[in-house]
Structure 1
């Protein structure tokens, strides 16, 4: 199933049918400012990744093999001396079998902002039930580059609603052009991408991981 494009009128119905009822609201959020890959949280993120790795009795070498990252990269990440990008964070959390928020922000902490090749993402909310973990992000897709995301954990789905600008998003083999008010859902357990077709674009992204 590739996904579908819907208008804003059907957005609430789609969110409820695909993700269930999620208690969050976005009010007066200003556009994201471009900054470092992970704003002011490198050491905290590194400590959480180390805890997750050790809880699974994985060595750095084993996690490097699973994630496809270099051992030196992981060592610097855990030590807080490397500022991880979205690509790195997704590679690590997918290899550990946890949602992105497991590394990005602990319960009750201020939301983090992470950046990749073309996307700046700010965590807005995290909702967990018996079936899945759903993360909500405010994202900016920067013009002039593409964000190529590797496959996430099996069963993961993403849902993007464009607020401003025009975005090409979806699976790598069948991305969809989205204008303001459009929404698109696709399986995120296959390679997928985001690309702003002209100027920077703003959107809300929901990522749903099976529990």
Structure 2
């Protein structure tokens, strides 16, 4: 088993702090994120390197953008399912968080993502290769140099088209919001 990185320890502490701040127990957050309680416990303790899928699963119920789980650390990287995402920038604009990521997809990679919440918008510029992405059932195919955007309020997919690496710049706009009472309810 590989040793967790300093980033994993920092991310675990951030997840725990956000969970506690919102009054959630580990079991409640794990259930809402649809991950194992043991996995969440290991992640919070800094014993497990988090995948991008796990972090996105946690970001939804915590009502924060992915960058908040990365402790807004520019240069932080997460990977999994043939995708590596590196945070390039994060800042607060009027009533929203704007995150910018460099994305690298392995040949044949398919990345499925759950809904990110109401009014979250993703903008993608493909810088290498071809990607099929967007809400399930209505994806768009975008080649090198192309641009696409969609509202990420439902499950969506990123898929490499062809046999080469694909790269892109992703900008995610997340409205500032507070957790709903049902998320904060004890189990």
TM-score range, shorter chain: 0.7 to 0.9
Match of 2:150 in 1: 186
User: Structure 2 residue aligned with 1:54, among 20, 25, 38?
Assistant: 20
The answer (yes or no) to whether the contact 2:74–2:90 under 8 Å persists in 1 is: no
Paired residue secondary structure (1:105): coil
How far residue 130 of structure 1 moved from its aligned partner, in angstroms, is: 2.3
Distance 1:39 1:184, change over 3 A: farther
Aligned residues: 173
Per the alignment, residue 206 of structure 1 pairs with 171
Alignment of 1:154 with 2:118, yes or no, is: yes
* Alignment partner, residue 54 of structure 2: 88
CA contact (8 A) 1:43 1:80 kept: yes
Distance 2:134 2:43 in 1: 29
Distance 1:39 1:194 in 2: 27
The separation in 1 between residues aligned to 2:129 and 2:106, in whole angstroms, is 10
- TM-score, normalised to structure 1, is 0.78
Contact 2:74 2:88 in 1 (8 A): no
Structure 2: gaps of 5 or more residues: 177-187
Q: Which residue does 1:195 correspond to in 2?
A: 159
Unaligned runs of 5+ in 1: 1-35
Secondary structure at 2:159's aligned position in 1?
A: strand
Deviation string 1:18-47 (CA, Å, 9 cap, x unpaired) is xxxxxxxxxxxxxxxxxx9x8641110000
String of CA shifts for 1:124-160, please: whole Å, max 9, x gaps.
Answer: 0012122211100010121122001111121111011
1:127 and 2:87 matched: no
Aligned to 2:45: 79
Instruction: State the SS of the aligned residue for 1:41.
Output: helix
Q: 1-side partners of 2:169 and 2:97: how far apart?
A: 16
